[in-house]
Chains A and B, each alone.
Chain A
Amino acid sequence: MEKLIDIGKYIEIGINALEENFSDLWRAIDNIISWTVDSINDVFLVIPFYVIIILVTLGAYYAKAGKKSLKKEGIKDGASLAFFVVLGLILVWAMGYWEEAVQTTTLVIVSTFIALIFGIPLGIWAARSNTANAVIRPILDLMQTMPAFVYLIPAIFFFSVGNTPGVIATVIFSLPPAVRLTSLGIRNVPSDVIEAGYAFGATEKQILFKIQLPLAKTTILAGINQVILLALSMVVIASMVGAKGLGSIVYQGIQQNNIAKGFEAGLGIVVLAIILDRITQSIGKK
């Protein structure tokens, strides 16, 4: 079929122009993200693996058991999670993929952090203004329905290969739930509570920080949990553009038709996903 409109060509022209006119900006972003990812990796890889396993286990246990950490019911709550975390991380280390697992976790941390810096304020804005909501919503729909692989193409173009295009594509892919759930949480705060706040003479700022955000906290944390899990799935795909970590092992497994390799790295990702999910969920329930 003959093309009637050549949308792809115009997008390419636009992206070319962006790349040329702001090349210093892209380079600066690239340097900042590369430096951050490398530094966090260096710190994590200097700490002996068993120290990290102990810290993560204690953190997971405390997140799950909370104030009851030293009481019987707390131990009942947290023990199974702590047990899983220890076994899972030891498995990852024993399979020989500790370094890759650390690299993957770092990418998830950095991407999630950037996604939240943009996502939560946008969510607050979308909750407080109907116009903003009407504009942001379709953009989020587009971001979530566009196949994730597509983001990799312009990302390489702006930031060449490596961890940076992976982080950028991951941020785009994992941002929507942060915006959506923040906005949903704030919109679901009962209006009589807000009115009571106004009646007592609260300022806009106080309404937001003392009433809306605390009451929306559970929903916002559910959003953060979603962002982390989406980021984890995307950093695997990002290996196609040179991002490091467990994803690159999976990618090699696919290309070399190597079942053992692909499965081991996949198992490592499952362990990371379950740990990240359970810890963030436990924090959200408090």
Chain B
Amino acid sequence: MLKLKKIGILFMVAVLAAAFTSCSNSGNKKETKSAQKEVSILYPNWAEGIAFTHLAKAALEGHNYEVELTNLEPGLIYGELSKTNSKGDVFLDAWLPNTHKDYWADYGNDLVKLGEAFSGGTTGLVVPSYVTINSIEELNASKDKFNEEIIGIGSGAGIHANTIKAIDEYNLDLEQVTSSGPAMVASLEKAIKNEEWIVVTGWKPHYMWANYDLKYLTDPKGVYPQDVCAIISRKGFDQDSPEAAKFFKNFNLEESQLYDLMAEIKASDEETGAQKWYEANKELVDSWFE
């Protein structure tokens, strides 16, 4: 028992000493902190969402904000932001009006749409550009060249359900192969290497558009919806932090800019990549504050 006490005393002394030094260190930090504004961003683990979120963090920190990031499932993000005492402020990757329409139906009344991080969120059937057909209606005529297969992703994705709908509406004689995002990209890579014909379920924004020459097959029946990556916040955020809200209202990336940012992140990591891209495009990003 005595031993425990001794260890306890040693520990207490250490903590007290540390607390003492921390107080003397943070004395001046505290003063600036009261003047410092805080933003809490919630984000899911999607490549484009990670890119938006970390770019926003780099820019806000450059303007003396303290930014907290919390990684959560999309359902939890919508639920949290709709609360009156929400711990989050903003979410930069809401796929509206279609892909997340169920979440929006549940929580949309308590949320505010500030802006659009990216305006061209599209899904559809994608082929390499050397494939000579241009419309979903032409698929049946060349079905042998595609092995009668459409390479799909996971069955939980909205695009998977829409492809089933497309097969039905266009009476396609092709079958959707359920795989995963990475497996779909791998099949695409392999086919392009061998110059074979392939059709996959694809979406924008996605890094495959930056790496390969691809095109959407036109969708005359409008089966595949158009979305934006919306920036949404809790109610009252624009009154609490008008400057930050303005930044999010103006925050918008072009396709090429987003792929550039994603490539930067892929080359290092989220923090460093976003910081680098922010410094290289300071004028654009800082103009969103004005």
Tell whether, in the assembled complex, residue B76 and residue A43 are in contact, meaning their CB atoms are under 8 Å apart. Answer: no
Interface string of B2-21 (1 = CB under 8 A from A): 01101100110011001101
A252: chain B residues within 8 A (beta carbon): 45, 71
Residues of A close to B86: CB separation below 8 A:
160
Minimum CB–CB distance for A135 against chain B, Å: 31
CB under 8 Å from chain A, chain B span 1-45:
1, 3-4, 6-7, 10-11, 14-15, 18-19, 21-22, 25-26, 42, 45
Q: B2: shortest Cβ distance to chain A, in Å?
A: 9
Query: Which A residues are CB-close (under 8 A) to B19?
Result: 43
Q: Would A161 and B72 count as touching, CB distance under 8 A?
A: yes
B3/A286 in contact, CB under 8 A: yes
Q: Chain A residues near B25: list those with CB within 8 A.
A: 46
B residues near A43, Cβ cutoff 8 Å? 15, 18-19, 22
CB distance from A223 to the nearest CB of B (A): 15
Within 8 A of B (CB), among A226-264: 239-242, 248, 251-252, 255-257
Minimum distance in angstroms from A275 CB to a CB of chain B: 14
Q: How far is the CA of A252 from the CA of B49 in the complex (A)?
A: 13
Q: A242-B72, A252-B71, A256-B45 are in contact. Are A161 and B3 (CB under 8 A)?
A: no
The chain B residue with its CB closest to the CB of A55 is: B14
Q: Which residues of A contact B80 (CB under 8 A)?
A: 156, 160-161
Are A42 and B22 touching (Cβ within 8 A)? yes
Question: How many angstroms between the C-alpha atoms of A42 and B83 in the bound complex?
Answer: 28
| CA distance in complex: A156, B88 (Å) | 13
Cβ–Cβ contact A62 & B7, under 8 A: yes
Q: Residue of B at shortest CB range from A96?
A: B269
Please, how many angstroms separate the alpha-carbon atoms of A256 and B4 in the complex?
A: 44
Q: Is A29 an interface residue (CB 8 A)?
A: no
Partner of B85, one of A59, A160, A239: A160
- Contact of A47 with B18 in the complex, beta carbons under 8 Å: yes
The chain A residue sitting closest to B44, CB to CB, is A255
Q: B3: which of A55, A162, A255, A283 is its contact (CB, 8 Å)?
A: A283
**Pairwise interchain contact B3-A46, C-beta atoms closer than 8 A:** no
Contacts of B4 in A (CB 8 A): 283
Measured CA separation A50–B196 after assembly (Å): 57
B interface residues, tally (CB under 8 Å): 30
Whether the pair A46, B26 counts as a contact (CB closer than 8 A) is yes
A63 at the interface (CB under 8 A from B): yes
In the assembly, what is the distance between CA of A241 and CA of B26, in Å? 30
Question: Is A59's CB under 8 angstroms from B73's CB?
Answer: no
Contact: A161 with B22, CB < 8 Å?
no
Q: Is B98 an interface residue (CB 8 A)?
A: no
Number of interface residues of A (CB under 8 A): 30
- Tell me if B70 and A161 are in contact (CB < 8 A): yes
Once the chains bind, are B70 and A162 in contact (CB under 8 Å)?
Answer: yes
What separation, in Å, do the CA atoms of A160 and B70 have in the docked complex? 12
Chain A residue nearest to B22 in the complex (CB)? A46
User: Which residue on chain B has the smallest CB distance to residue A23?
Assistant: B85
Q: Is B165 an interface residue (CB 8 A)?
A: no
Q: Do A242 and B70 touch (CB < 8 A)?
A: yes
Contact code string A28-55 (vs B, CB < 8 Å = 1, else 0): 0000000000000011101100000001
- B182 contacts A by Cβ under 8 Å: yes
Taking a contact as CB atoms under 8 Å apart, the answer to whether B71 and A66 are in contact is: no
B87 at the interface (CB under 8 A from A): yes
A226 to B72, CA, bound (A): 29
Convert A82-93 into 0s and 1s, putting 1 for each residue whose CB lies closer than 8 angstroms to a CB of B: 000000000000
User: What residues of chain A lie closer than 8 Å to B21, measured between beta carbons?
Assistant: 46-47
Across-interface contacts of A55 in B (CB, < 8 A): 14
Q: Which residues of A contact B71 (CB under 8 A)?
A: 239, 242, 248, 251-252
Query: B213 CB to closest chain A CB, in angstroms?
Result: 25
A217 to B4, CA, bound (A): 12
CB of B18 within 8 A of CB of A257, answer no
Residues of B within 8 Å of A162, CB to CB, are: 70, 87
Most chain B CB inside 10 Å of its own CB: which residue of A44, A46, A241, A256: A46
Complex interface: chain B residues within 8 A of A76 (CB): none
Q: Mark B108-133, 1 if CB is under 8 A from A, else 0.
A: 00000000000000000000000000
B3:A241 contact, CB within 8 angstroms: no
Q: A161 to B87, Cβ gap below 8 A?
A: yes
Query: 8 other contacts beyond A47-B22, A62-B7, with CB at 8 A cut-off?
Result: A46-B25, A67-B3, A161-B80, A161-B88, A239-B71, A241-B76, A242-B71, A242-B72
A-B contact pairs, 29 of them (CB 8 A): A42-B22, A46-B21, A46-B22, A46-B25, A46-B26, A47-B21, A59-B11, A63-B3, A66-B3, A67-B3, A156-B76, A156-B79, A156-B80, A160-B80, A160-B83, A161-B72, A161-B80, A161-B88, A162-B87, A214-B1, A239-B71, A240-B73, A241-B72, A241-B76, A242-B42, A242-B71, A248-B71, A256-B45, A283-B7
10 tightest A-B contacts by CB? A46-B22, A255-B45, A242-B70, A47-B18, A160-B87, A161-B80, A43-B18, A43-B19, A162-B87, A55-B14
Q: CB within 8 Å of A: which residues of B?
A: 1, 3-4, 6-7, 10-11, 14-15, 18-19, 21-22, 25-26, 42, 45, 70-73, 76, 79-80, 83, 85-88, 182
